[in-house]
Amino acid sequence: MPEDALARTRNLFIRRWGEMGATWGISRTMAEIHALLFLTGDPYCTDDIMEHLQVSRGNASMNLRQLVNWGLIRRTHLRGDRKEYFVSDLDAWQMFETITRERRRREVEPIIETIDRCRQDLAAEMAALPPDKQEESRRYDEKLKDMIEFIHAVNALLDTVLTSGGGKIRKLTAVLMKVATSGKALSH
Amino acid sequence: MPEDALARTRNLFIRRWGEMGATWGISRTMAEIHALLFLTGDPYCTDDIMEHLQVSRGNASMNLRQLVNWGLIRRTHLRGDRKEYFVSDLDAWQMFETITRERRRREVEPIIETIDRCRQDLAAEMAALPPDKQEESRRYDEKLKDMIEFIHAVNALLDTVLTSGGGKIRKLTAVLMKVATSGKALSH
DNA sequence: AGGTCCTTTCATAAGTATCTGAAAGAACTA
DNA sequence: TAGTTCTTTCAGATACTTATGAAAGGACCT
């Protein structure tokens, strides 16, 4: 069957979403499956996905599981059908929230632990260091401190935005913009 | 020479930073070089980097160029030395700003273009679609519209935060938190 | 020009990540 | 229990990314 305009533009989007996912450390197939489910909002079973995206059963199965683990899609069942179906019923904002939380947990938390650990190690051995290294050591600790403070600051900002929910983002931005540009309210 | 405590914790951080970079779509070496320059703040030439990170000349050269392209490090020269040196003199906030802008330009802009293009294609062919597809088509367009509005909203928020500069982030967060939780100021 | 020192390039090698398909597993049915 | 249908797993194949090192290129000096 020849693709109609609908299928054609949908597939264009799915491909691009897949490519983008790839540059963000998400496998192409995982991103494509997600795009397919997200765009249609319909339940798809493994065979549907294999057919639409031309991927193997194993590949589909693995990536569906990953998407479920991330919380981006969920399993569901259709009356009178033993097969498992998958749906994505999050809106763009909820997706963002989910992805942000997951990535933070998986990737930001570990780096925070590493930095803390480095600083502890350094503090413990500081005294034993030859005097010429003390200054260097202090500067290094300073960098780590700045970095961790920065991460915490961004986390706090992000939490505030996330917990405020998607509907409010435009208003938050408006308020922020006013505060940020006024300068007065912020100076000291 | 045996590593001292300083070198040891520094190397721990560099390795972790490299791993994290990898999951974020940045090559391990590129992230490690960046960590090395960032932590020390000192100028390093290609040979220094080859030695510290145990990588080949070609690899060092390629990744240094990339980092310069991203704007994360800059080339410099030392008096009486013909070699080229590289330094990172951005603080954590400036790094974040630089990375955010680059990634947006490289990865978000294209997806915006794709969505716009999909919607145009769809609008153009809508009339020619069989009636049963019209409704499906409309729902699809709705999804794309939501998505692009979301992207623009996040971009606007990010721009506000970025242009306000790093020193203000804590105050911005404080203001936001008050606004977001009060509910009153935001309800329509 | 010829020599030295340094940087960049690029074909090939090495290393990773991803995908496939067949086999094993699980859940249900009769 | 044996059969059917669907799902998961995983060893091996494939495709992609990143690294190497030798050769070419460029800049400066004498």
| Any strand D atom closer than 7 Å to B56 CB | yes
Contacts of residue A158, defined as CB under 8 A and 6 or more positions apart, other chains included, come to A100, A104
> What are the boundaries of each domain within chain A?
5-87, 92-182
> What pairs with residue A77 in β-bridges?
A84
In Å, how far is A27's CA from the nearest CA of chain B? 11
Which 3-state string (H, E, C) describes A16-85? Answer: HHHHHHHHCCCCHHHHHHHHHHHHHCCCEEHHHHHHHHCCCHHHHHHHHHHHHHHCCCEEEECCCCCCEE
Report whether pLDDT(A98) > 90: yes
Of residues B130 and B14, more confidence is placed in B14
Q: In chain B, which ranges are continuous DSSP H helix?
A: 5-23, 28-40, 46-53, 57-70, 92-103, 109-126, 131-164, 169-182
Distance CA A79, CA A44 (A): 14
Q: Do A157 and B176 touch (CB under 8 A)?
A: yes
What is the rounded average pLDDT for all residues in chain B? 89
Reported as a pLDDT band with limits 50, 70 and 90, residue A182 is low
Window from A63-67, A173-177, B101-105, B127-131 with minimum mean pLDDT: A173-177
In this structure, of A51-55, A86-90, B159-163, B173-177, the range with the lowest mean pLDDT score is: B173-177
pLDDT average, residue stretch B54-76? 97
**How many angstroms separate the CA of residue B180 from the nearest CA in chain A?**
5
Structure tokens at A97: 């929230």
What are the CA-CA distances from residue A74 to residues A70, A97, B120 (Å)?
10, 16, 31
pLDDT at res. A185? 46
Question: Which chain B residues have a beta carbon less than 8 Å from that of A112?
Answer: none
Residue B143 is predicted with a pLDDT of: 95
B169 touches A153 (CB < 8 A): yes
Q: How far is the CA of B164 from the C1' of D18 (A)?
A: 38
Please answer yes or no on whether A16 and B128 come within 8 Å at the CB atom. Answer: no
> Taking residues B156-182, what's their average pLDDT?
80
Identify which of A100, A97, A163, A173 has the alpha carbon closest to the alpha carbon of residue B159. Answer: A173
The pLDDT of residue A188 is above 80: no
Instruction: Give the sign of the dihedral formed by CA B143, CA A64, CA B106, CA A15.
Output: negative
Q: From B93, which residue of chain A is nearest by alpha-carbon distance?
A: A150
Residue B162's pLDDT is what?
Answer: 87
What residues contact residue A15 under an 8 Å CB cut-off, 6+ apart?
A32
Which residue from A minimizes the CA distance to B183? A164
Flag if A5 and B121 touch (Cβ within 8 Å). yes
- CATH number, domain A5-87, options 3.40.50.1370, 1.10.10.10, 1.20.1050.10, 3.40.50.2300: 1.10.10.10
Cβ-nearest to A13 among B118, B151, B171: B118
Report whether pLDDT(B47) > 90. Answer: yes
CA atoms within 13 A on the CB side of A7: 6
Mean pLDDT of chain A: 89
How would residue B33 be classed by pLDDT, with cut points 50, 70 and 90?
very high
Q: Is residue B41 within 8 Å of A139, Cβ to Cβ?
A: yes
Contacts of A126 (CB under 8 A, 6+ apart): A134, A137, B5
Enumerate long-range contacts of A154-157, CB under 8 Å, 24 or more apart.
Answer: A154/B96, A154/B169, A155/A104, A155/A108, A156/B170, A156/B173, A157/B161, A157/B169, A157/B172, A157/B173, A157/B176
- Within an 8 Å CB–CB cutoff, is residue A20 touching chain B? yes
- B91 and chain A: CB distance < 8 Å anywhere? yes
Distance from chain centroid for Cα B152: 17
Residue A88 approaches strand C within 7 Å at CB? no
Query: Residue B40: closest CA among chain A residues belongs to which residue?
Result: A140
* A112 CA vs C14 C1’ separation (Å): 32
Average pLDDT over residues B54-69: 97
Residue B177 in contact with partner chain A when CB distance is under 8 A: yes
What's the rounded mean pLDDT across residues A135-159? Answer: 92
pLDDT of residue A17: 94
Residues of A (24-53) placing their beta carbon closer than 7 angstroms to any atom of strand C are 27-30
Give pLDDT, residue B163: 84
List CB contacts of A90: < 8 A, sequence separation 6 or more.
A38, A72, A98
pLDDT category at B182 given cuts 50, 70, 90 is low
B57 touches strand C (CB under 7 A): yes
Instruction: Identify the pLDDT of residue B42.
Output: 95
Burial A107-128 (b: 16+ CB within 10 A, else e): ebeebeebbeebbeebeebeee
Which tens digit of pLDDT belongs to each residue from B69-98? 999 999 999 998 999 999 999 999 999 999
